[in-house]
Amino acid sequence: MTTDALKWWETAVIYQIYPRSFQDSNDDGIGDLPGITTRLDYIAKLGVDAIWISPFFKSPQKDFGYDVADYCDVHPEYGTLSDFDTLLAKAHSLGLKVMVDIVPAHCSDQNVWFEESRQSKDNAKADWFHWVDPMPDGSPPTNWLSFFGGPAWSWEPRRQQYYLHNFLSSQPNLNHANPAVREAFMDVARFWFDRGVDGFRLDAVHTINADSAPYANNLANPEFVPGPLPQQQQPFFRQLHDSAQLNQPSIQSFSESFRAVADQYEDRYLMGELHGDDPIAASQTFTAPGRLHATYNFNLLAWDGLNVEQLKIAITKAIAAFNGTGRLSFAFSNHDVPRSATRQLAALGLHEDQQQALQLLLLKLETCLIGSSCVYQGEELALQDARDIPVEQMQDPWGIEFAPVFAGRDTCRTPMVWKGDAPNGDFSNANSTWLPIDQKHLARAALDEAARPESIYNEFAAFLAWRKQQPAIMSANKMSELTGSATQLVFDRISEQQTLRCLFDFESLTVSFEEI
């Protein structure tokens, strides 16, 4: 069955690739673009519609690509622009769309924009970042905190001013109130669209700052409760952020200018990652007409997982706001949170031997909801989170800051393994890899599982092929309210041609579908 009713991105299953950990082609222990190209057949045979590649731009790699030094060049560890063009052509020949991960809120302090801006108050890039004078007592201008720990303001002695950074001090926030900054990102969009890229995943758009001084302080979070989770241990979460620091209305000047570029090309897609005090309301703002096509939703990405009732609440809130549209993208896992099976096993009180059945259920659930969905590399293998990375081998700056009580994000970023009996699981022939190989993953190596008929890889591939034939999923983004027992999620997907009842049972870990 084919349909022209919806755009490709409104129902797309998008496979996320973390390039540093996908496939190493030159034996330096680090994944790269040519390595991705060699594994595209594996992805295409799964039956997904698109790939999203996390940042591979030139970068000092202090936050592994989310600190961009040059938005229009490839970091040498990952290859060259020619390597990217080869990857793009191979993906398109296999019917895969390609999405690139752009970081618009901040760049690296090694970006030439910031290197010039920090020199003085009167250079050509002087107001490309948020520079603010100190308070009379020398303190920062607001109480804003960095997500990675410490204040969100750092002192620059050359300008005798503070600059804003919502993450590392080496990731200065760009000043999107400046039209020249917006135009620079429009040029970045044109550069990649002209190469043939099909869309962008826009990182942390809620942290774009387009306001001008004086800035307001964040308010205290009245619902904050100290606890064992790393998020709750951070002072950052003692504040409400949408009141001042995040999700500022002025951000939409960026959304509108970036969309204006996308609309000059055929069938391009903009998906913004955002969070905040009220992410659903923020999503509605970001996807208003003339802005982003969709937002990447965090409702199912809770760090410690969600029980069945919490899943119902999270999905219900999202559906209530977006039913009948493709303006939402769901995910159970990504490069920033522990792997979904590990989180959800704990949240649901299940045993490790139930991991594969649970993972298949989660994959089917997210790809049956309205809108698009994003599957993180390794989820199609039911890989568990790596929990035994020694502190001295940790790479994630967030994890290092809060070690040893917090394992950080390295646990979901360990290299993919392809053959269980090969050195380093056939990820690399290097003596060591940038993060250690998780030895437990070798029993579910990707090519071994793809060759095993009863594997979760092949079961999910068969499901995606079936999904493409269902008008209720592919022809309309409409679904009923959620019902079911305390251990079930039940809803109908609805189109003019078909109504499909979808039942997900978290006790038996089974899924069933019925035309009604």
The packing angle between helices 81-93 and 179-195, to 10°, is 60
Among the listed residues 369, 412, 365, 353, the one whose alpha carbon sits nearest the alpha carbon of residue 387? 412
- Please pick, among 10, 32, 242, 273, the residue that the annotation labels catalytic: 273
Are 362 and 332 contacting, i.e. CB atoms less than 8 angstroms apart?
yes
- Please pick, among 203, 379, 396, 410, the residue that the annotation labels catalytic: 203
Instruction: Report DSSP state, residue 462.
Output: H
Tell me how far CA of residue 461 lies from CA of 42, 77, 468, 469, 504, in angstroms.
Answer: 11, 32, 11, 13, 18
SS3 415: coil
Tell me how far CA of residue 281 lies from CA of 138, 242, 334, in angstroms.
Answer: 36, 11, 22
273 counts as catalytic: yes
CA angle 54, 55, 56 (to 5 degrees): 120
203 counts as catalytic: yes
Chain centroid, CA 273 distance in Å? 6
216 CB-side CA count, 13 A: 13
Residue/partner pairs of 487-493 with CB below 8 Å, 24 or more apart? 487/308, 488/308, 489/308, 489/311, 489/312, 489/315, 489/365, 492/516, 493/368, 493/370
Q: Which residues are catalytic?
A: 203, 273
